[in-house]
Each structure stands twice: as structure tokens, then as C-alpha cells.
Amino acid sequence: MRPMEPRYAARLNELMRPWCTAGLVADLLDLDLLADPKLAGAMRSWAARFRGDESVMRQTTSGPEVHRHALEAFLLQNGLISWKWAAIYYGLETQVLKEVVDRLEGRGDLVQVRSDVSNQLVRQREAASLFRAFSLLRNKVFASRAGMCIAFHAAIASDLKINVTPVYCVTSAVLEPEAPDIAVAFDAITMDPVGLRYQVWLDTKKPVSLAADVCSLKFYVRNEVDLRPHVMKGGEPETIDEKLRAA
């Protein structure tokens, strides 16, 4: 088995530290703190109050860095989420979710998704309830997240005339190409979309209060030797389909 590609090895190494490059924040969370002084200021104020240290961004010889653990804690405590992660909750591309919100607001729906902290963020609870803006889904109970996503996509196409192409899990696309799983997260190393069934939880030394970083089973199989020491205890894949080894 070949060693992990240098770019991915460097990303894994970066994930293991609380401080990361602004580039990682941009890739993983789709947030640009350097271009958003209001968000950066809100984060510093929060950190000064709840961490006793407002040093959440710093300039180094290799470029600007962000304290990722503090950033994720700030978002969690304030009920905020980036557009990218709000969109993947529904298996959507970021731009599609933004267009959906724009259309709903344009027709007068009282959707309060946008955050007043930054236009790069949305309110997590409100975003997770956005499907209820469609009358056919308002009182519907779904048996699964996938069923909710499919119904939401259909409502978007029918009511708003927006074409929706679901974001699919990269592992499921190999194993079940005829009916792949809708993605729910992103591989923290490759940024590939990952579904619920095929995510491998990584121990990247984050506080337990924060969501674990994950990688796709597809990526894990290709880099098992390098990744095995970093898998969260008890999270090792039990069986691995040989299709992934050949993919």
C-alpha cells in the first residue's frame, strides 16, 4: 500500500493541532475570517469572555492562522453554522441553498435563516427547519434524513423551479452507483462529501464537545496504514468491501 499523498498527509497533520491555516478554515468551513472583520471581532469578543483569551487569530511567518477549536466552539455556542455545512445537511450545494433562501425571502416567506453576525453564517436551528417553509412538508414526519432530503429537493424543484442535483457520498457512489447515499458531511482531509454510513471518525485531539472530524471510508481504505492510528477508538471499520480497494 502506497503512503498517503503529501498534500493529504500535511492536511492530516494540520488537523491534529488547534491552530490551523486560514486556508483550512476556508476549505473545510468555507469561512474567510480575514475578509470579515465583523465575524473576527465577534469571535474575539466571545473568546475573551468565555476563554479568557481573545487570541483566536495570529500572524505567523508562514501566514495567518486561526484557532480552529475556538472557532468551532464559538459557532456551536452561538447556534451558527456556515452556508456550506447548512447546505450539506440537506445534501445540497452551497449555492443552491443560498438561492433557495433568496427565493423564499423574495416571495415574502418569513424565513429567518441569515445570521446578523456575518453573511457567511446562518442560524443552525432555523436552517435545519427550512424545509418547513414548504406547505407540503410543514407537518410531515420523515422516517429518515434521506427521505427528508429527497422530499425537500422535490419541493424546491416544484415550488421554486430550481434544479437540484443531490450531493452524493463518494464511498456510496462506488459501492451503490445506482442509488448512492446523500452526503451529510465532508471529509476533513480531502473535502469529499461523506454519507452517514461511510464516515470514519478521526481522533484529531479536538475537545469532546466539538463534532469529530471524519474521513470517507473510500479514503480510509486507500490510506489505512497512515490513518489507522488516528481513528477514534471503537470507530475502526469492521468490514471493507473489496470494491473500494480496487477503486
pLDDT in tens, 192-243: 999 999 999 999 999 999 999 999 999 999 999 999 999 998 878 876 766 7
**Cβ contact 48:137 at 8 Å:** no
Q: Whole-angstrom Cα distance, residue 230 to residue 15?
A: 11
Task: Clarify whether residues 177 and 242 are in a common domain.
Answer: yes
Query: Among 53, 78, 103, where does a domain finish?
Result: 78
Give 96-137 pLDDT, tens digit per residue.
Answer: 999 999 999 998 887 899 999 999 999 999 999 999 999 989
Structural domain including 212 reads: 170-246
Domain count, the chain: 3
On whether residue 182 sits in a domain, the answer given is yes
In this structure, the answer to whether residues 64 and 92 fall within a common structural domain is no
The sign of the dihedral angle between the CA atoms of 223, 2, 169, 81 is positive
Q: Does residue 147 lie in a domain region?
A: no
What's the pTM?
A: 0.93
Q: Pick from 78, 104, 122: which residue ends a domain?
A: 78
- List, in sequence order, every residue forming a beta bridge with 66; answer none if it has no partner: 20, 57
- Examine the fold and report which residue of 126, 160, 194 is the final residue of a domain before the chain moves on: 160
Same domain, 177 and 237: yes
- Asked whether residue 12 is domain-assigned, the answer is yes
Instruction: State which amino acid sits at residue 170.
Output: V
Q: How far apart are CA 22 and CA 64, in angstroms?
A: 6
Residue 149 clears pLDDT 80, i.e. is over it? yes
What is the C-alpha end-to-end distance of the chain, expressed in Å?
A: 14
Task: Taking each helix axis as running N to C, give the angle between helix 145-160 and helix 94-106, from 0 to 180 degrees, rounded to the nearest 10.
Answer: 50
Model confidence pLDDT, tens digit, residues 30-67: 999 999 999 999 999 999 999 888 889 999 998 999 99
* Alpha-carbon separation of residue 198 from 121, 169, 173 (angstroms): 27, 8, 11
Structural domain contains residue 146 = no
